[in-house]
Amino acid sequence: MAKGSRGGAGKSLVRATLAIHEPPAGDSTTPGGLIRTFGFDFNPSQLSLSRRAQWKSTPAQIERDGPLPEFMGSEPRQMSVEIFLDSSDEPAGNTVLKKVESLLKCCEVTSRSIAAKQPSPPWVVLQWGSFSTARFVAYVSSVEASYTLFGTTGVPIRATVRLQLHEIPSATMGQNPTSGALTAQRVHRVVAGDSLQSLAWREYGSAAAWRSIAEANGIDDPAHLPTGVELVLPAAEEVRA
């Protein structure tokens, strides 16, 4: 089976990724520094996205037809995504094992958050090209891995991992009323020629705002910006020029 062809969805040239970040410090809703970017071997063949609205209805004896329901608020979005991993072309390798372990760590407290006395597992952002409805800041509530093929040494070389993501709401982030997508904060994949200064100028109209991008992504060396890395671009109100 050729890579990227599973289920038909993998034929896209745009790969889905999961950006895994340190949790933020204080009360910020912007993810902390980038821990790693998890690239999908095969694009998902299916995503399940849900959101619920809460309504309350209190029966009254004098109302024959029942009272009008009262809207109590909307719950954050939830997403279920299945990740297919396969390294059967390297039967002695441990690529699948390492990738599953990195996803399982999304449910573990990071050492940096412990040091900051705000223990928390990582925050994540799923991104798949222009599919903006599925892009939001979330935490991983569960990771379920099923190993389906093993190499000669007993190490798994094929697995299916199911992730359950829960949106982390933010009162400061604007949303598109038609799509529900985040508009004040987004994730940018670095391409050749990008620099923190050019990104800051394009996003905020000030090259001096590069420091905010660096802080949001834990970048110590602004001159070293590898191509392909995903950067969280903070909300405009959180940027200092």
Q: What is the reported pLDDT for 185?
A: 60
**pLDDT score, position 144:** 96
> What does the pLDDT look like over 18-67, one tens digit per residue?
999 999 887 777 888 889 889 898 999 899 999 988 888 777 666 666 67
Tokens at 94, concatenated = 């441990």
CA distance 120 to 106: 10
Strand segments (E) across the chain = 17-21, 34-39, 47-50, 53-56, 70-74, 78-86, 123-127, 137-150, 156-167, 186-189, 230-233
Q: Cα-flanking dihedrals φ and ψ of residue 198, to 5°? A: -70, -40
Across the range 179-183, mean pLDDT stands at: 40
Average pLDDT, the chain: 82
- Per-residue pLDDT tens over the stretch 81-110: 999 999 988 888 899 999 999 999 999 999
**What string of DSSP letters covers 31-83?**
--SEEEEEE-SS--S-EEEE--EEEE----TT-TT-PPPEEEEEPPPEEEEEE
The answer, yes or no, to whether residue 5 has pLDDT greater than 80, is no
Task: Return the minimum-mean-pLDDT range out of 56-65, 173-182, 192-201, 231-240.
Answer: 173-182
| Cβ pair 121, 108 in contact under 8 A | yes
Domains and CATH numbers, the chain: 1-51+72-173 (2.40.30), 185-241 (3.10.350.10)
Distance CA 88, CA 75 (A): 41
Position 212 pLDDT exceeds 90:
no
